[in-house]
């Protein structure tokens, strides 16, 4: 079974559209994350979500919003897509925060292309 799964794997859409990427983890982890990886492989944290505590990277446009229906899911909604949103988006989870032994488990990524 896949530990952290994202859907879709590829997403091609036009500018101005609204889209969602889904993420589910079956590891029982407390914290989930969304990362954006640009064409230079630079990984940037977008959000972290832990038991109703949402931490937002202040540089993320408010067109991006995470939605967590339950502890195992953290979906990413993007409104009014722009060309610069094209990137690979990774979902990740970790078992606990502020811990000495915390590692993150990543999904396979969603390649978003805005045309």
In this chain, which stretch among 21-29, 67-75, 77-85, 86-94 interacts with another protein, using CB under 8 A? 86-94
Told to check if 52 binds another protein by CB under 8 A, we report no
- Quick one: which of 64, 66, 75, 107 contacts another protein (CB under 8 A)? 107
- Name the residue among 93, 87, 98, 105 with its Cα closest to residue 10: 87
Position among 1, 14, 28, 42 found at the interface with another protein (CB under 8 A): 42
Distance CA(107)–CA(21), nearest Å, equals: 12
Q: Identify which of residues 14 and 39 has a Cβ nearer to another protein in the complex.
A: 39
Residue 56 contacts another protein per CB under 8 A = no
From the CB of 41, what's the least distance to another protein, in Å?
5
Q: What CA–CA distance (Å, rounded) separates 87 from 38?
A: 5
Q: How far is the C-alpha of 14 from the C-alpha of 84, rounded, in Å?
A: 12
- Distance of alpha carbon 80 from its chain centroid, rounded? 17
Q: Are 70 and 30 in contact (CB under 8 A)?
A: no
Residue ranges that bind another protein, judged by CB under 8 A: 4, 31, 33, 35, 40-45, 48, 50, 55, 90, 92, 94, 97-109
């Amino acid at each position: 079974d896949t530990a952290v799964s994202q859907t879709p794997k590829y997403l091609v859409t036009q500018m101005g559209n609204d889209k969602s990427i889904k993420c589910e983890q079956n590891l029982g982890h407390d914290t989930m994350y969304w990362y954006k990886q640009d064409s230079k492989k630079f990984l940037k944290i977008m959000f972290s979500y832990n038991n109703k505590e949402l931490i937002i990277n202040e540089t993320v446009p408010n067109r991006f919003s995470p939605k967590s229906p339950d502890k195992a899911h953290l979906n990413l909604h993007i409104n009014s897509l722009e060309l610069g949103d094209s990137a690979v988006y990774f979902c990740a989870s970790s078992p606990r925060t502020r811990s000495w032994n915390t590692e993150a488990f990543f999904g396979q990524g969603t390649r978003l292309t805005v045309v």
